[in-house]
Structure 1
Amino acid sequence: MKKVVKVLIALLILIAAAAGVVVYYYGDNISALISGMNSSSEDLAVKMNENREKLKTQVEKYTSVQVADMSAEDEEKLLSGEISLEDVAEKYNLPVDYMRDDDVTGISYKSTAPVAVSKNDNTNEIDAVVGESVSRMYALKAKYVNKLGELERAVFKEYSSLPKEKQNDDAKYKIVLNNLNYVSELEKKCDDEVSNVLASLQTELEKLEGDTEIIGILQKAYQDEKEVKKAYYMSLYNKN
């Protein structure tokens, strides 16, 4: 039954792509559509895990702060509602403020460096700022995984509540169309919040004369994650 729910989410993306609604704003849907139709869900799951490990290795070059992404198992549990955002925040030491819907653009970084540091000795502070930014990115990921999980459950409930004779493709498409704007708005909001985190990180690193290469790495990791996840859902649709 879970597969049916994920297929409905895939349909949301597919219909948006076919209508040109989301593709206009998010070009990565085109690549996701092609990948999802030509790759197995198993291969794409492996790819998501590889990307997770690759980012972990890259981040370790820029900060000694130990920041962990959710495991694939916990991500599934969050999607299904078995665990909460608070559980994830506690287990992975992520900022719960970034998991809420409140405005977090004004939250400052916690400096771990001494008050008086020389111009060329900002290592500790750079270390902390990068670590905290990555932590914020992972918190945002958890936030929107949770929102997708809530949507999956709502869609499943709506479809399951229909009389058996009305549980057909027409009903699926109707549910999809009713949720299309919400999915588009959700993605845009996530993009905006990620952009705010990266913009704040860039400002701090420039102020501290730190290496800003990590910003491009995080941006690419975010785009890759979105594309592979969409492709994964689409592969489930293709498999159905």
Structure 2
Amino acid sequence: MKKISKVLLIILTVIVLAAGVVLYVQYDNISALINGMNTSSEDLASQMNNNREKLKEEVEKYTSNPINDISAEDEKKLLNGEISIEDVAEKYHLPLDYMKDSSEDTYSSDATPESANTVPEISDEKAIDAAISDGVSKMYALKTKYVNKLGELEREVIKEYSNLPKEKQTEENKYSLVINNIVYIAGLEKKCDNEVAKVLSTLESELIRLNGDTEIIQILKDAYQQEKEVKKAYYLSLYKK
């Protein structure tokens, strides 16, 4: 079991360090690595949940529609393969199509909302509520999508390592298995960044069209960056021993 944990630690450390290629600021990765190795998973899970609660309170200032984010506990279960994206979509009322690879086909319609050619009221509160709720739900769904992909990768690497003959279960081969996936790992984060940016860009355009307050866009961007740092630290903390 300790060997498996060490494999996961290598995977997650490389995720944190390699992701510097696609993050806005490499400091976030260094901070995540330090926090992950020096803070307990319980404390980091609590921090994640607190951050999500704060974001929920901020979002509620802009929309009256309830939006639920996946909890740290369920995120851990998803990472470990104990629950599926379908379970998460049903429990948290998130759009399942955004958790699947085919969701990219959906994005093409995001840039041109059905009501784009209509002239809005000075302040269409219901439409603004719906737009914000829809955008935030899509962000949460995308997060679920990539947590699930990361979990799938971990399990695949563990399986590959476990299937090696005992004499080949070495530090060198652990490292090789991870290195073979670096491009894929970096690509995952870049894709997530791009898809979230697209959702937020669409939301911002819709809010401008509806004469809504666009301040929430920066709030969501900041929350997304903070979530990534804490999440990486959390994943590292799960396997540091």
Greater alpha carbon shift after TM alignment, 169-178 vs 131-140: 169-178
The letter of the residue matching 2:20 is V
- 1:200 aligned counterpart, secondary structure: helix
Give the deviation of 1:5 after TM superposition: 5.3
Greater alpha carbon shift after TM alignment, 76-85 vs 52-61: 76-85
- For 2:48, the equivalent position in structure 1 comes to 48
Which stretches in structure 2 are left out of the alignment for 5+ residues?
none
Q: Work out whether residues 10 and 234 of structure 1, in 8 Å CA contact, stay in contact via their aligned partners in 2.
A: yes
- 1:106 aligned counterpart, secondary structure: helix
- For 1:136, the equivalent position in structure 2 comes to 138
- 2:233 aligned counterpart, secondary structure: helix
CA RMSD of aligned residues (A): 2.5
Quote the Cα distance in structure 1 between the aligned partners of 2:161 and 2:130. 46
CA-to-aligned-CA distance 1:45-89 (integer Å, 9 cap, x gap): 221111121111111111111111112232222222222212221
- For 1:100, the equivalent position in structure 2 comes to 100
The 5-angstrom pairing of residues 54-65 of structure 1 reads 54-65=54-65
Which stretches in structure 1 are left out of the alignment for 5+ residues?
none
Q: Work out whether residues 78 and 84 of structure 1, in 8 Å CA contact, stay in contact via their aligned partners in 2.
A: yes
The 5-angstrom pairing of residues 1-240 of structure 1 reads 1=1, 3-4=5-6, 6-13=8-15, 17=17, 22-26=19-23, 27=26, 28-102=28-102, 103=104, 104-108=106-110, 119-236=121-238, 239-240=240-241
Percent identical residues: 59
- 1:44 aligned counterpart, secondary structure: helix
Q: Work out whether residues 79 and 145 of structure 1, in 8 Å CA contact, stay in contact via their aligned partners in 2.
A: yes
- 1:175 aligned counterpart, secondary structure: helix
Q: Work out whether residues 94 and 136 of structure 1, in 8 Å CA contact, stay in contact via their aligned partners in 2.
A: yes
Q: Give the alignment's TM-score, normalised by structure 1.
A: 0.87
Q: Give the alignment's TM-score, normalised by structure 2.
A: 0.86
- 1:105 aligned counterpart, secondary structure: helix
Q: Work out whether residues 11 and 176 of structure 1, in 8 Å CA contact, stay in contact via their aligned partners in 2.
A: no
Q: Work out whether residues 130 and 201 of structure 1, in 8 Å CA contact, stay in contact via their aligned partners in 2.
A: yes
